[in-house]
């Protein structure tokens, strides 16, 4: 099967020749190019090359376009981003609304692509990758979610206090970040890509499930509904770690096509919750284990995932963000470990 056919099949809970392999490759793509993450993050050509070279190296079943995936929209709104050096990716180092004694989001205009930001740069890279390999594999471009953008603009502690003391102002800020998210989602979708919406600041236990339902779900739901209603690209996803099992009803309401679950997750629960929904469950190993090449522990974790996913038709192999320092040979070995564990977990046919 082609990767695109494999992913379409698991989305609809249909049989596949093997579980798709979906590692999270962002800054690691710069390693494949032998470039720094900072250089690749600021060049549409290099960002596209990193995604294409990674696909050529790993033949994974979902290709992502993006390096410092949490920064693009926040930077456009006015967050200062570090240069990054060596193996480090650029990161947010200033919060434009942090100095306000009372949150006033009205001071923020919704930014448009230009020389002062990378909104258009990411869309340009996504267009190149989708045009080259979009016929054979899902290509998803990355963007920060409305809530995570709001955290970067205000600062986490202050936004939490605002949620408790001035919820209407928080919603006003989220309207601004959602407006940018909708525009950027259209740019990426027009480029022919699916959209990964990253909401890492919304993980449990950073916020409560009740906060998630109030401040995350309505805004991501609008973005996903727009994409699904207007485009025929790979389906959009909300990507985050933490205890995602506690948020399954929220993910179903949002309409996300993929949920991340680590090896400790109750997969019987995930199987039951996703039944009847176009939703993929990505079983994830800790990428630090791969970076350290801790093969006994990796094999243990992967065997656990294989046993839990046995007979599950919407499961895919994965791991968290693969580090720049991870050797490509080790990520390839991880892929082989996953394949071997899947074969070992298959029911054996009885001889007649």
pLDDT of the residue at 154 = 98
pLDDT of the residue at 350 = 54
Q: Which residue has 């243990």 as its token pair?
A: 300
For the chain, list residues with pLDDT below 70.
347-352
Q: What CA–CA distance (Å, rounded) separates 63 from 79? A: 27
Question: In terms of residue numbers, what domain contains 194?
Answer: 3-341
Q: Which two tokens stand for residue 34?
A: 């032998």
Residue 141, H or E segment: strand 138-144
Q: Which residue has 């990253």 as its token pair?
A: 198
Residue 348 lies in a domain: no
Domain count within the chain: 1
Residue 291 lies in a domain: yes
The CATH number of whichever domain residue 202 belongs to comes to 3.20.20.210
Residue 251 lies in a domain: yes
pTM of the model: 0.95
Residue 118 lies in a domain: yes
3-class secondary structure per residue, 216-228: CHHHHHHHHHHHH
pLDDT of the residue at 346 = 81
Question: Considering Cα of 248, then 254, then 257, then 258, what sign does the dihedral take?
Answer: negative
Residue 350 lies in a domain: no
pLDDT of the residue at 86 = 83
Residue 51 lies in a domain: yes
Q: What CA–CA distance (Å, rounded) separates 222 from 316? A: 26
CA nearest 70: which of 124, 154, 150?
150
Residue 229 lies in a domain: yes
Q: Which residues lie across from 22 on neighbouring strands?
A: 318
Residue 113 lies in a domain: yes
pLDDT of the residue at 152 = 98
Question: Considering Cα of 305, then 311, then 315, then 317, what sign does the dihedral take?
Answer: positive
pLDDT of the residue at 349 = 56
CA nearest 318: which of 342, 307, 340, 334?
334
Inter-residue contact 19 to 342 (CB < 8 Å): yes
Inter-residue contact 284 to 320 (CB < 8 Å): yes
How far is residue 51 from each of residues 54, 187, 261, 292, measured CA to CA in Å?
Answer: 5, 18, 24, 23
């Amino acid at each position: 099967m082609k990767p695109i056919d494999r992913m379409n099949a698991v989305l609809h809970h249909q049989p596949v020749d093997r579980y798709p392999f979906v590692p999270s490759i962002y800054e690691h793509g710069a390693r494949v190019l032998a470039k720094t993450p900072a250089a690749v993050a600021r060049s549409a050509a290099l960002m596209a090359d990193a995604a294409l070279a990674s696909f050529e190296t790993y033949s994974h079943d979902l290709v992502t376009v993006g390096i410092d995936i949490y920064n693009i929209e926040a930077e456009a709104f006015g967050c200062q981003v570090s240069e990054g050096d060596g193996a480090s990716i650029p990161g947010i180092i200033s919060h434009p609304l942090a100095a306000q004694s009372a949150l006033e989001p009205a001071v923020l205009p919704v930014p448009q692509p230009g020389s002062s930001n990378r909104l258009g740069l990411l869309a340009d890279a996504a267009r190149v990758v989708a045009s080259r390999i979009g016929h054979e594999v899902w290509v998803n471009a990355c963007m920060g979610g409305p809530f995570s953008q709001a955290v970067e603009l205000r600062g986490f502690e202050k936004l939490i206090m605002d949620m408790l003391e001035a919820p209407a102002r928080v919603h006003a800020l989220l309207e601004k970040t959602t407006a940018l998210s909708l525009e950027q989602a259209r740019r990426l979708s027009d480029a022919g890509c699916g959209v990964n919406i990253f909401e890492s600041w919304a993980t449990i236990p950073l916020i409560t499930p009740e906060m998630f339902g109030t401040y995350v779900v309505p805004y991501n739901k609008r973005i996903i509904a727009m994409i699904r209603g207007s485009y025929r690209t790979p389906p959009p996803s909300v990507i985050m770690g933490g205890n995602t099992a506690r948020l399954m009803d929220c993910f179903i309401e949002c309409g996300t096509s993929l949920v991340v679950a680590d090896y400790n997750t109750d997969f019987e629960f995930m199987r039951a919750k996703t039944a009847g929904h176009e939703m993929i469950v990505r079983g994830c190993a800790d990428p630090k284990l791969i970076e350290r090449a801790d093969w006994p522990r990796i094999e243990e974790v992967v065997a656990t995932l294989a046993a839990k996913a046995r007979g599950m038709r919407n499961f895919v192999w994965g791991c968290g963000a693969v580090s720049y320092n991870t050797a490509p040979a080790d990520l390839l070995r991880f892929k082989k470990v996953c394949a071997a564990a899947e074969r070992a977990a298959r029911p054996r046919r009885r001889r007649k």
